[in-house]
Amino acid sequence: MNVLIKLLGLVVGMGAGIAANKALEAIWSKSTGKPAPKDATNLEDSLPGVVMFAFAGGAAGAVIHVLTQRATKRAMTKLQKTADEV
């Protein structure tokens, strides 16, 4: 059962990461009027813009990672308590 919860946490984390990336791209496009700089090697995008987008993406990824890890741990703890009560 622990493997199932860990796999579920992985899938939820990946889904949340994809959704956060799409949201970040939409916010970037709306606020700057330019598409999000997805390719760091594109020299037409300004370096500060690319760095800011990378920073925002990394921060969002770190927050999602923490939240999914904590939710997975909480689910595993709850499952273990339930198993002990039975």
Summarize the confidence of residues 60-72 as an average pLDDT: 91
Torsion of CA 41, 47, 52, 57, to 10 degrees: 0
Residue of 61, 84, 80, 60 whose CA lies nearest to 72: 80
**What's residue 23's pLDDT?**
94
Cα three-residue angle 8-71-22, rounded to 5 degrees = 70
Q: Write down the pTM of the prediction.
A: 0.76
pLDDT digits (tens, 9 = 90+) for 6-46: 788 889 889 999 999 999 999 999 999 999 998 888 898 89
C-alpha to C-alpha distance for 26 and 78, rounded to whole angstroms: 37
- The torsion angles phi and psi of 45, rounded to 5 degrees, stand at -80, 140
